Chains A and B, each alone.
Chain A
Amino acid sequence: MSLTAIEFRQISYSLPQRELLAGFCSIIKSGEKVVLRGPSGCGKSTLLKIAAGLLLPAAGLVCINEKILTGKNVWKLRCELAYMQQESPVWGTSVRDYLQRPFSYHANKELKYDESRARELSDELLLKDDILEALPEDLSGGERQRVALIAALLLGRKILLLDEPCAGLDPDSARRVVSYLQSRPELAVLVVAHDSIMQSLSERVIEIKNLQSAGVESMAELSGGQE
């Protein structure tokens, strides 16, 4: 039995000057890893934002864990997913402060911050030993991405939306991120990636073409992953 983690149903989205997505459909099962690929400006990041409830599609709807995302349940559904934006912001008095802060939010009150797990994960992802004490503004781009990923993992989110998670990462660290994600079969991952290391995460690739250049035949789903 496998549940649907994310479902895009007939998603359309337009920028003021041009149409970005038209009737986009796709299903990501729980535990499945999927790579979103396509030329820049084709709407990949937009899809992730729509799934995270940060953008509203002009038409269509998105389901998270088989529930239609609405203004009512968005606050609950956001706690079932994590969205790592490009150049993730990390703030607070230290990295530890940043990682701990969400645990003070009412929505996460059943969860407890686990320092040893934070250390484990930062070792696993090849972050330096004193990363938890570091100041957020001193982090490099690659470190920030990994800290943001750790934040999502500490919160136990099972659906990860990752936008260029390996931007600014050295190849070794990038491979660590990929193999870590692969070692967690329960995590559904939808990743936007240009680099080949991150694309090696999964066989299943959703290719998005530029609507402008591609005309009607806008989106084609490549290779399988169908159960």
Chain B
Amino acid sequence: MGAPDISLSGMLLAYLLLLPPLGIGLWLGVGIVNNALYSVLRMTVQLLFVGLYLQYVFVINNPWLTAGWLLCMIIVADFSIVRSSSLRLRKFFVPVLVAVVTGTALPLLVFILLVLGRPMFFDAPLLIPLGGMVLGNCLRANIIGLGGFYESIRSERKKWQQALLNGASRYEAARPFLQEALNKALSPTLANMATIGLVSLPGMMTGVILGGTDPAGAVKYQIAIMLAILCGTTITAAGAIIFTIPKAFDKYGLLEDTIFREK
């Protein structure tokens, strides 16, 4: 049994769900109407495109094509992390890329090759959705982690300087800031893990159940993906900070103001 297909008229009806939020936005004068329309439009276009594209990718299932698509996803994630953190792409693109590649590849390799015991890593119907879930979470964690790290060094400049004067290297001075940033970056993932199943049925489980797997089977998938997400977010959040440190400070150990993209 697969999930029932949504007809065209059904799809249009789904868009009716937009009316209450728009109505409430207008009624209360919350300036979200334009924003909401823009976001819905983007979501629709992106998903239609990806849906069409993935149909071909899944049918062709060529390892190179799959790897290429995954790389695209990683690069887009890298872009959004650096940009949303208000940091300069030119300096941070490469170190963040290294962190995201490492943090995505490791949990996915373990998940697909060891947990699922599949012979092929670049198997489009598995790798792309799983990769998307891990990356999406890494993205969120990194914007909080990386952005927060440099922002707090900027706002607590004295503390940073005092650590240097007390004899700290860049990495030693970074430690308390790194701890704080990682804490903030990972706490949503951890809170989500702690309440999962009680309040929310996660998207993946819903998907697997709709796809025809029994709930017990779906739960196993969910547990594995949550662990993969925790692994991926921790590696990318820590890695992105650690790998960017050499680029962000001058030879005196002072934060370069040029790393920030002025808004």
Contact = CB atoms under 8 A, between A and B. Distances in A.
B159 A79 contact: no
B168 A88 contact: no
A54 B255 CA distance: 10
B248 to A, nearest CB: 15
30 contacts: A52-B161, A52-B165, A53-B252, A54-B161, A54-B254, A56-B252, A71-B250, A71-B251, A71-B252, A72-B251, A74-B251, A74-B252, A75-B253, A78-B164, A83-B165, A85-B161, A88-B162, A89-B156, A89-B159, A91-B159, A102-B166, A102-B168, A104-B172, A105-B166, A105-B172, A106-B169, A107-B167, A107-B168, A108-B167, A151-B166
Contact of B166 (A54, A56, A71, A101): A101
A87 interface: yes
B263 interface: no
Interface in A170-188: none
A64 interface: no
A72 to B, nearest CB: 7
Contacts of A121: none
Interface string B152-189: 00001011011011111100100010000000000000
Nearest to A108: B167
Nearest to B171: A106
A141 to B, nearest CB: 13
Given A78-B167, A83-B165, A105-B167, 10 more contacts: A53-B252, A54-B161, A54-B254, A78-B165, A85-B161, A88-B158, A105-B166, A106-B169, A107-B169, A155-B167
Interface string A57-93: 0000000000000011011001101110101110110
Interface of B: 156, 158-159, 161-162, 164-169, 172, 176, 250-254
Contacts, number: 59
Contacts of B253: 74-75
B252 A54 contact: yes
Contacts of A89: 156, 158-159, 162
B159 A105 contact: no
Contacts of B158: 85, 87-89
From A74, A78, A79, A81, name the one whose CB has the most chain B CB atoms within 10 angstroms: A78
A100 to B, nearest CB: 11
Contacts of A101: 166
A74 B168 CA distance: 12
Contacts of B161: 52, 54, 85
A105 B117 CA distance: 45
B169 A105 contact: yes
A105 B250 CA distance: 20
B183 to A, nearest CB: 14
A120 to B, nearest CB: 20
Contacts of B176: 91-92
Contacts of A81: 165
Contacts of A75: 169, 253
Most chain A CB inside 10 Å of its own CB: which residue of B159, B162, B250, B254: B162
Contacts of A148: 162
Contacts of B165: 52, 54, 78, 81-83
10 nearest CB pairs, A to B: A71-B251, A107-B167, A102-B166, A89-B159, A105-B167, A108-B167, A89-B158, A105-B168, A105-B172, A79-B167
A116 to B, nearest CB: 21
A81 B162 CA distance: 12
Contacts of B254: 54
Contacts of A85: 158, 161-162
B162 A106 contact: no
Contacts of A72: 251
